């Protein structure tokens, strides 16, 4: 009886060792998770409003965007905060012609976008009244 239980124990042990180590799998090593997706990119002629509470112009990394007359400019809220874009003077308000509206852009919940068409050359500054004093931007129309 001892001999049978000893053989049975050896058989169970052999099967356990074979099932844990063989087979050419990953050897018990879990592969690393995939890298996180890249941050959202700011499309051409767009100001993105990121989580850092500032306007960033597409491709420039600055708060200023230069366009030619007849260009439609987009503002996109890529953060989880609510923002707005208010013109610093009447000239900016008047130059921000109909896109999906005209003049000031008062409501930017997360993910929202607004557009404005610029036909008149000039330099137009704006700000977010929710995040002063540094959340400012400039549209330069040539």
**Residue 14 pLDDT more than 80?**
no
Q: For residue range 53-94, list pLDDT tens digits in order.
A: 788 888 777 899 999 999 999 999 988 889 999 999 999 999
**Residue 47 pLDDT more than 80?**
yes
Which runs of E-coded beta strand occur in the chain? 46-49, 55-57, 64-67, 71-77, 83-87, 105-108, 113-118, 122-127, 136-141
**Residues 6 or more apart in contact with residue 92 via CB below 8 angstroms:** 124, 125, 126, 139
Under the banding of pLDDT at 50, 70 and 90, the label for residue 139 is very high
CATH number of the domain located at residue range(s) 46-141 in this protein: 2.60.40.420
**Residue 24 pLDDT more than 90?**
no
| pLDDT on residue 38 | 47
């Amino acid at each position: 009886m001892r001999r049978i239980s000893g053989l049975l124990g050896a058989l169970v042990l052999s099967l356990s060792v074979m099932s844990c180590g063989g087979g050419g799998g990953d050897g018990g090593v879990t592969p690393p998770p995939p890298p996180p997706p890249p941050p959202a990119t700011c499309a051409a002629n767009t100001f993105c409003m990121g989580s850092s509470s500032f306007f960033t112009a597409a491709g420039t990394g600055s708060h200023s965007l230069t366009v030619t007359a007849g260009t439609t400019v987009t503002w996109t809220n890529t953060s989880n905060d609510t923002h707005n874009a208010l013109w610093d003077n009447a000239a900016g308000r008047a130059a921000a012609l109909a896109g999906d509206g005209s003049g000031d852009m008062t409501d930017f919940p997360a993910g929202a976008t607004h557009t404005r068409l610029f036909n008149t050359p000039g330099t137009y500054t704006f700000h977010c009244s929710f995040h002063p004093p540094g959340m400012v931007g400039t549209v330069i129309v040539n």
